[in-house]
Structure formats: C-alpha cells, structure tokens
Structure 1
C-alpha cells in the first residue's frame, strides 16, 4: 500500500517534535527529516519528490518548510514553488518556528474581537507590534495586509530594523519602525495605539500597568507569551476577548492559550489540506490566516446553532 510521505526541510540540525507529531496525527505515514537545507538545495529535493509518483498522486507527497528563520523560509518556499514541472507537482506548507500559524491565529482573533465589539476590523486601525522575531514580523505583515497602520516596536538594541522592513517589502506592505526600549517610549507608542500585539521573548513583561493606564485609545491587546510573567499586564493565559478595565483604559484581552488553541487547529488543518486539496496546495502564512479566520467563523456559527 502506498504511504503518505512528508519531507521536512529545515536549515538547522533539528526538526520540531511538535510539527512532526501534528503531521503524523493529521495523516502522514512517514515524516522524513532533511536537515541543513538551504534555498539552493530546495529545487533538487522537490524535483526528486515530484517525479517518483504520477501527477494525480500529489496529495500523497508533501513538503514542509520549518526551521527558525522566516527570511530563509520565504526563500525556500519560493524555490519550492518554482521547482514544479508541468503536471508534476506536490503540496508545500511553510511554518518556520510556528510563526506562520501563530501569527495567523493572533490576527484572526484580534480581527474577530474588533468586529464583534465595534463592527469594524483592523482596517485603518493603529497597531503596535512588540517583538521583532518570527512571530512579530509575520503578525505585523498580516495586520498590515488587513489595512492596519502598523508600527514594529524595537525592544532591544539588537533588533534588526533593516531585516524587519525588508520582510514587509517582500509581502508588499509598509511597516513603520519605532523605538520602544524605554518606559517613556513605550508610553508614547501606546498613546495612539488601538491594538497592541505582544510577540516578544517569553517570560518578560513588556507592557506594564503604568503604560496601559495611559493607553486611552487601546481596544484590543493580544499576548503570545504563556510563561509568567505575561507580556502584557492584565492579560490572562486563557483570555479570548475578555474585558480588562484599568484606571484610564479599557480593552479586550486575548491570551496565549486562546492563540495556541487556534494555532493548533490551523496547523493541523493545513497538514490535512496538503492531503485533501483538489490541486497541489501551496501554503504560506497568508493562507494560514485565511484558514484561521474560516475556523473562527465556523466555530461561531456552530456555537450560535447550539
């Protein structure tokens, strides 16, 4: 009997047990790790995979692009797309460091909270993203693609402004870079911010009560950090559009476990999409956002029906 095979490409030396387990649970019989892979290696690997089965078997072979570097993952994904030859194609799904599915879940939950509470989503909203790592960059791009005016907030001297802005350019969006290293700078950023998204290093408080008290325009705050202390004061780990009222501000909070629950469903669902799509699926993080949004809509419809 033919088996469903997923080739797992990463630039580093280790693959994620989380991703492997999810892929297996989603129906792949074998997950084959290929480590130390660079963009220049991808074409040969993909073409090795596409020619060993006839074109109508594309659901049985998948390419997953992991690792920790979203810049490399973008290059590898584009190389994989270009490697297809005529009808010989396979599905490709990229999710480096879980950043694509996590950011998709953050933005989908924020969009839903805004729409439910105000009747208007992210379009033209002022959004501040704290954290310039993989999740922060992808979150910033997705929010900007929804029409938000996005600022990426520098938290340390090591944050790479050029790399962050270049990532936005690759996806056709304009991102603003601002410093939020000091308490005064954070307060200044938050004065005009409607949506605060924290995707910074785990276990570090980024926005404390003093900063939040002055954030009179704040409508939604989402935090990806599940390790105490929370990245945003007042956000509970299980919060999903929970009202938080402080001295001078009131906002809806979205916590890391609510984000993680949707992230899990999104990643699992995209692994299944590789196996069930009527055409070879090519899944980047905008596709993850589309899936996460549909998942929320379906859950809402089911809840109302019940």
Structure 2
C-alpha cells in the first residue's frame, strides 16, 4: 500500500524544501495543499481518515508547514480536533523548519557539554522571537537551562515569552537588545548563545564573543551571508575557537535534514503519532 503524505501549508504555495524531504523520508506520494486555515482544513482531514481500514491508516499521514508558526499551531489544533476514536492519522508540525532546526541545534548543544545536560546553564537565544528561536528557547528551558530571549523590542520579546510560557509552561526572560553592542551585553554572563535571527542579519561581531570567558558553546542558525555571529563559519561543526565550541548552520544542518527525514519515516509506523516540540527533540537527542 502506498505511503501518502498530505502536506498542509499555511502559505500560498507549498514548500519545495518540505516536499523534497518528504520523499527522501519515505513517502511514496506527497499531496500538497496550500493557503490552508482551520476553517478550510476539515474536509481534507476527513478524506485522509475515512478512506483506509484501521490496519492501513498508518500509511496515510499529515505534515503541517508554512512560514507562520502561529498559523501552523492553529492548523494543528484544527486537524487534531477533527480526529476521533481510531479515525486519525499521524501528524507532524514543522512550520518554517522550526522544530527540526531547533531540535537539531539543541541536541548538538547538549552533546557539546561533557555532562551531557544543560542544567543550570545560562542560555541566550538571540533574535529569538521567530519560529526557530521560539522553539529553541522552549527546548533549552525544558532541558534545564536558564533562558533569555532577545529582540529589538522589549514588548515583542515579552509577548513571545508569555506565549511560550502559556503554551509550554516554561519560564523565559525577555531582553531588549537593539544592536550588536546591546546583544554583547545580553550574553556577558551566558554559557550558551544560539543565534536565530533573520537571514543575512548580523547579531554579534567577533569581538563580542571571542573574549567572553563565560561562553562555552555558540551556535548560529543563519546560513546566509552575512552570518548572525561574526568570526564563525557556516561549516563549523563543533569547532574549537577562542576556547569555545562553535556550530554553524550547515555544521548542525546535516542533523536537521536527517532528523526531518527520520520524523517523516516515523509517521508511517503507526496512525496516532503527533510529532511536535517534545517528540522531535527526543528523536534528535537519540540521533545526535
């Protein structure tokens, strides 16, 4: 029986990236639907859950994507609300690659410490109000780190932290950091820095981290010049620089892609999985 993956996208076009990875993850056919909302997704879900016998439902799955994380979360809720009894299929949410990118990064961060955990570590997620930053902040906090989230707007950072606390029960500290100097101040006492800003936006200069004796691990999720953290390389793969362990976007991106493919494959093992923050991080930690 063919493995069918329905790609539900909140943008006007389905993501080519997500489609390619879906096939590489084992889907036989990927059926894309774009521009979806909670009001329009119900009939599609019904078509997915009513068409195969119970023993065959594991061969149908749903992937939720798009650039807007909040829209994706609303879509996931609508999909789950359509399920009942055993009329359900496995579903994964990875809006803007947020879960897989953050999980791969956090898994590599954990592995960078000899202790294998982040308990009592102070972590700063730079420009952390976007999809990847929010997911990274939640995952770091759940791993025991004391997490701060920076934004150029304190109100924006505060709203994002409040939303994450409400959704996941984690405590996060919002920090206003309007420029590189302010961000250098924000990371002064940190052991971990995870830069998750928009493509091509510099968040720190090399001198802002190279002489910081508190820092132990830094990670930059930006693969587009100029990088988020100056003095790093997109190919850094746990490289030691200035006494710190450094990860670039491609350096941990290999795990991100492998993780994404592994999650797709996992969807077809049973018909009742929901792969979101906790589940995807657990898979990443096992793979790292």
Q: Same fold (TM over 0.5)?
A: yes
Residues 295 and 5 (structure 1), Cα distance of their counterparts in 2 relative to 1, 3 Å cut: same
> Does residue 266 of structure 1 match 2:259?
yes
> Does residue 126 of structure 1 match 2:126?
no
Counterpart mapping for 1:61-72 below 5 A: 61-72=60-71
**Contact 1:130 1:155 survives alignment (8 Å):** no
Q: CA deviation at 1:38?
A: 1.1
Q: CA deviation at 1:25?
A: 2.2
Whole-angstrom distance in 2 between the partners of 1:145 and 1:123: 10
The CA RMSD measured in Å over matched residues stands at 1.8
- Give per-residue Cα distances to partners, 1:239-264, cap 9 Å, x unaligned: 2221111xxxx311011112210010
Deviates more, 1:34-43 or 1:52-61: 34-43
2:135 paired residue among 134, 138, 159: 138
Q: Look up the SS of the partner of 2:110 in the other structure.
A: helix
Residues 43 and 173 (structure 1), Cα distance of their counterparts in 2 relative to 1, 3 Å cut: farther
Q: CA deviation at 1:164?
A: 4.3
Partner residue in 1 for 2:284: 292
Deviates more, 1:140-149 or 1:18-27: 18-27
Partner residue in 1 for 2:84: 85
Partner residue in 2 for 1:302: none
Q: CA deviation at 1:268?
A: 0.3
Whole-angstrom distance in 2 between the partners of 1:261 and 1:274: 20
Counterpart mapping for 1:108-257 below 5 A: 108-114=107-113, 116=114, 119-131=115-127, 132-155=129-152, 159=156, 161-245=158-242, 250-257=243-250
**Contact 2:179 2:203 survives alignment (8 Å):** no
Whole-angstrom distance in 2 between the partners of 1:265 and 1:163: 29
Q: TM-score scaled by structure 2?
A: 0.93
Residues 163 and 41 (structure 1), Cα distance of their counterparts in 2 relative to 1, 3 Å cut: farther
Unaligned runs of 5+ in 2: none
Q: CA deviation at 1:157?
A: 7.9
Q: CA deviation at 1:153?
A: 0.6
**Contact 2:26 2:265 survives alignment (8 Å):** yes
Number of paired residues? Answer: 287
